[in-house]
Amino acid sequence: MKIVVDAMGGDHGVVSTVKGAIDAVNEYGVDVILVGKEGLILEQINKYNYKGQKIKIVNADEIITNEDKPVKAIRNKKNSSIVIGMQLVKDGEGDAFISAGNTGAVLTGGLFVVGRIKGIDRPAIAPVYPCEKGPSILLDAGANADCKAKYLQQFAIMGSVYANKILDIDNPKVGLVNIGTEKGKGNELVKEAYDLIENSDVNFSGNIEARDVPKGIVDVMVCDGFVGNTILKLSEGLAKTLFSQLKDVFLSSIKTKLAALMLKSGLKKLKNSFDYSEYGGALLIGLKSPVIKAHGSSNPKAIKNAIRQAKQIIDKKVVDIIKDEIEYLNNSKDNV
């Protein structure tokens, strides 16, 4: 198994990706291909005195920055770490691709280079979302601001497979994010999507309201990319604000400082449940091979966990199962 990693992506670039790759190789036994400027990668590898044979470097002289326009960058920067890395996966020299770089470029490269699964109209960004009852899958979290009902139906099917195989949830519950729980609520998109998902081979629980998202009453939350990205960014902002306010409260007096010491382990556990680095990255689900978008500020732990995530997706044949499910769906339509 070979996991291809964009060594130049993210706020910390080679510093995080090299350390994360070394940690993943040591812990999970996978082979990693680091793509980027060879000299910079070697310089970091030498800092850790890594002498193993499980890390390979593929040189890429160009970098796609966050300021680059995604489509133009993928077309014009053919020698970038993102394009070369994805081409390795397309050519069968790697089994999955990970990048903490430009989100739009990763999405565009996934579509143009890796390609969609036959029958999938639009791939979706599918991050793991921390909830009160345990993690859920949220999709789409930003790849498709405008959707058709059949896209949401496909998201429901793909998300159900992902939750089953990666979160180990038997018969995962699927919910459609809406402004009310009753059938018939919402705009034309969600009303049409409700009927399609209800008649799909998934465990559909109906509509869920935004206030129920953090509770984890379903295992897969389906919505268009505009709504999903809003949920994700609002949740990130709220979590940061709440932890900042808690810190201010606990540091406000001697009594509260003592209370903080007593609650230290519990607070650390709570904070870890919201830590993106624990989950790795967001799978761009619906492509022919796994492509994972890691957080832009990924540290070595996040990169290591993204590699672990890619290994799980490959080991459990998530892409192959999605292919079978979509083929079954399309055959069912043809026979109606």
Span 264-317, pLDDT tens digits = 676 666 666 555 556 678 999 999 999 999 988 889 999 999 999 999 999 999
- Cβ pair 221, 177 in contact under 8 A: yes
| Whether residues 131 and 166 fall in one domain | yes
DSSP state of 184: T
| Whether residues 134 and 149 fall in one domain | yes
Please indicate whether residue 155 or residue 133 has the higher confidence score (pLDDT): 155
Bond from prior residue into 61 cis (ω within 30 degrees of 0): no
- pLDDT confidence of 240, banded at 50, 70, 90? confident
Q: What is the CATH number of the domain that holds 293?
A: 3.40.718.10
| Whether residues 237 and 290 fall in one domain | no
Residue that has been written with the tokens 């009927």 in this structure: 195
What pLDDT is attached to residue 270? 61
Residue range 201-229: mean pLDDT, rounded = 94
Quote the tokens at residue 263.
């609650």
Is residue 241 over pLDDT 90? Answer: no
Is residue 103 over pLDDT 60? Answer: yes
Domain span holding position 42: 1-120+286-316
Is residue 221 over pLDDT 90? Answer: yes
In a domain, 321, yes or no: no
| Whether residues 219 and 296 fall in one domain | no
Please indicate whether residue 109 or residue 184 has the higher confidence score (pLDDT): 109
> Nearest CA to 294 among 21, 94, 102?
102
> Nearest CA to 6 among 93, 101, 89, 75?
101
In a domain, 15, yes or no: yes
In a domain, 41, yes or no: yes
What pLDDT is attached to residue 225? 95
- Given 277, 302, 325, the domain boundary residue is 277
- Strands 281-285 and 291-294, how do they pair? antiparallel
Residue range 59-83: mean pLDDT, rounded = 94
Residue-by-residue DSSP string for 170-213: SS-EEEEEES-SSTT-S-HHHHHHHHHHHTSSSEEEEEEEGGGG
What pLDDT is attached to residue 279? 67
Residue range 133-162: mean pLDDT, rounded = 94
Residue-by-residue DSSP string for 266-290: HHHHHHHHT-GGGT-EEEEETBSS-
> Nearest CA to 295 among 281, 310, 279?
281
Is residue 250 over pLDDT 80? Answer: no
- Cβ pair 92, 67 in contact under 8 A: no
How far is 254 from 313, CA to CA, in rounded Å?
48
| Whether residues 272 and 295 fall in one domain | no
| Whether residues 211 and 264 fall in one domain | yes
What pLDDT is attached to residue 52? 82
Residue 7: which residues within 8 A CB-CB, separation 6 or more?
Answer: 13, 14, 17, 18, 21, 34, 35, 36, 37, 40, 41, 81
**How far from chain centre, in Å, is Cα 263?**
31
pTM of the model: 0.89
Lowest mean pLDDT among 58-62, 201-205, 211-215, 236-240: 236-240
Quote the tokens at residue 279.
């989950």
| Whether residues 186 and 58 fall in one domain | no
Split into its structural domains, the chain has a count of 2
| Whether residues 46 and 176 fall in one domain | no
| Whether residues 143 and 204 fall in one domain | yes
Share of the chain above pLDDT 90, in %: 72
| Whether residues 1 and 109 fall in one domain | yes
How far is 69 from 83, CA to CA, in rounded Å?
14
- pLDDT confidence of 207, banded at 50, 70, 90? very high
What pLDDT is attached to residue 253? 82
User: Considering the chain, what is the average pLDDT of its residues?
Assistant: 90
What pLDDT is attached to residue 273? 59
Neighbours of 132 (CB within 10 A): 10
What pLDDT is attached to residue 269? 66
- Exposure of 97 by Cβ count < 10 A (0-12 exposed, 13-18 middle, 19+ buried)? buried
What pLDDT is attached to residue 261? 75
| Whether residues 128 and 270 fall in one domain | yes
Strands (E), 7-67: 31-36, 55-59
How far is 122 from 286, CA to CA, in rounded Å?
7
Residue 81: which residues within 8 A CB-CB, separation 6 or more?
Answer: 6, 7, 8, 9, 35, 36, 60, 62, 63, 64, 99, 101
| Whether residues 76 and 89 fall in one domain | yes
Is residue 59 over pLDDT 90? Answer: yes
Residue range 165-187: mean pLDDT, rounded = 93
DSSP state of 210: G
In a domain, 328, yes or no: no
